[in-house]
Amino acid sequence: MRKFVTLFIALSFATLCMAKDVIIDQKDKTFIPTKVTVHVGDNIVFKNSDGFAHNAFSDNKNNEFDIGMQRPGEDISVKMKHVGIVEVECAIHPNMHLKIVVK
Amino acid sequence: MKNLIILSLLGLVFGSALFGADNSRWIRPADVPVPKDNKITPERVKLGKYLYFDTRLSKNDSVSCATCHSPFTAWADKNDKAIGVYNRQGTRNSPTILNSAYNLRQFWDGRVKTLEQQALGPIQANVEMDMNLTVLIEKLKNIRGYVKLFKSAYGDEGITKDTLAKAIASFERSVVSKGSPFDRFIRGDKTAISKKAQEGFKLFSGKARCNLCHDKFNFTDGSFHNIALGDSDIGRYAMKKRPAWYHAFKTPTLRNIAKSSPYFHDGSVKTLVEATTICANGGRFKNDKKKSLYMIDNHISADEIELIVAFLQTLSEESLDINIPDKFPQ
Ligand SMILES: [Cu+2]
């Protein structure tokens, strides 16, 4: 019984900690989807399905990042470290917006 | 009968391929974007127009917005770098204000978003109008004509920095492209532009990939790029050291482009042939390691450049469409 409980705790802890990969595509100069909710520790994986470079950055406190130049076909992943709202833009195309809610 | 159906179906397919839904991207939307707190009214446009052309907004009553953004020179000017009060020269070329209402960001480096935020910059800039705003507001309050005009445009808000900026922005929102030979062509008049220009348009949105950046009715998607001009202006990088912003400048509109030489943020190019060649074939310094990844050599020949330029020439407005005030409020 004791063993079982430990196993149970260990397992649930593992699922809790298991970071998810959440995919955001960049296509036709838009982030797809444009809004997403994730948990602390999850990875946002930026894809680029356009035939030209993109970028993604956020200046929001605690979750600041800038993936630099992202070539077509390249995947770049960013870990969401803190709870909060993360507003993301493409540094090349100011019309591209993405909102990440980190819970 | 069967043949007829097939024929008309074919006609539909080809017809829509040529003049179908996709052409709407080249047609200016009738509605100009307007902020909630500055709705357009005829009174605001009228006031803004006076302010825009009035040299009394500058330190020595010599320079107005129109000095550098004149309707006679495609709402830009002929200097490679702008010249303001006391012949002081700035560091960048004056862009056109035509269709600036549609810009996602203002200035070559996109440092502000709205026309309201933009308008007070040049009034105060040392190399432009060099006017102290507090002094200017007092000056305007002492001109009875302006007191009246501000009253009818902004009611009890009075003459303030805010209403000054809002009025000028309102006028700028009325400066939009009204029609060029290309606009007649894209709406279906196939004779509106020459065969050469039509070939040029195909290259522009095909092999030469110009529409990757110079997209939609205003021929810009508002994107920022380093086209490897090799000058020392770092552009948008001055805002924040983002790798993508190194020496990056805003993709400008190409409307009226044949009339707004010299070209580029530094005014370093006189002809459309040269500007097009730089943009088509990998930038000015093709081996620049930091140039935009978009700037690839498309191997566009001199003959093809000529066709593209023939197309660019069809983007000139057909009428000047402005009555410049000959008397100002007293
Ligand atoms: Cu982008």
Write the pLDDT tens digit of every residue in A50-74: 999 999 999 998 899 999 999 999 9
Rounded to two decimals, what is the model's pTM?
0.92
Asked if residue B261 and residue B223 are part of one domain, the reply reads yes
What's residue B320's pLDDT?
80
Q: What are B122-154's pLDDT values in tens digits?
A: 999 999 999 999 999 999 999 999 999 999 999
What's residue B321's pLDDT?
75
Judge whether B224 is closer than 8 Å to chain A, CB to CB: yes
**B205-231 mean pLDDT:** 97
CB contact under 8 A, A29 and B221: yes
- Give the neighbor-by-neighbor strand order of the sheet with A21-27: A30-32, A21-27, A43-46, A76-79
- CATH assignment at residue B56: 1.10.760.10
Judge whether A57 is closer than 8 Å to chain B, CB to CB: yes
- Asked if pLDDT for residue B47 goes beyond 50, the answer is yes
Pick the CATH number of A19-102 from 2.115.10.20, 3.30.70.1450, 2.60.40.420, 3.40.50.300: 2.60.40.420
With 0-12 CB in 10 A as exposed, 13-18 as middle and 19+ as buried, what is B188? exposed
- Give the neighbor-by-neighbor strand order of the sheet with A84-89: A35-38, A97-102, A84-89, A57-58, A65-66
Q: What are B276-285's pLDDT values in tens digits?
A: 999 999 999 9
Provide, as residue numbers in chain B, all residues whose Cβ is less than 8 Å from the Cβ of A29: 221
* ipTM (interface predicted TM): 0.88
- Three-state DSSP state, B43: helix
- Asked if pLDDT for residue B4 goes beyond 60, the answer is no
- Asked if pLDDT for residue B5 goes beyond 90, the answer is no
Q: What are B85-94's pLDDT values in tens digits?
A: 999 999 999 9
User: How many angstroms does the Cα of residue A48 sit away from the middle of ligand 1?
Assistant: 9
Could you list the residue range(s) of the whole structural domain that residue B52 is in?
42-172
Tell me the residue type at A92.
I
Nearest CA-CA distance, residue B226 and chain A, Å: 10
Q: Which helix (DSSP H) or strand (DSSP E) does residue A25 occupy?
A: strand A21-27
Tell which of B138, B172, B206 closes a domain. B172
DSSP state of B93: P
Contact predicate B85/B63, CB 8 Å? yes
CB contact under 8 A, B223 and A94: yes
The pair of structure tokens assigned to B112 is 């502000």
Place A45 in a pLDDT band, splitting at 50, 70 and 90. very high
Mutation pick from A29, A88, A89, A92 vs chain B, by most beta carbons of B within 10 Å, is: A92
Asked if residue B140 and residue B198 are part of one domain, the reply reads no
The pair of structure tokens assigned to B219 is 């021929």
Q: How many domains does chain B have?
A: 2
Q: What are B50-102's pLDDT values in tens digits?
A: 999 999 999 999 999 999 999 999 999 999 999 999 999 999 999 999 999 99
Tell me the residue type at B113.
K
Cis omega (within 30 of 0) for bond into A33: yes
CB contact under 8 A, B294 and A53: yes
Interface of B with A in 17-76 (CB under 8 A): none
Residue B322 within any structural domain of the chain: no
User: How many angstroms does the Cα of residue B113 sit away from the middle of ligand 1?
Assistant: 18
Percent of chain A whose pLDDT exceeds 70: 83
Alpha helices in chain B (DSSP H): 2-19, 42-53, 65-68, 115-124, 133-141, 144-154, 161-172, 181-186, 195-204, 272-280, 302-312
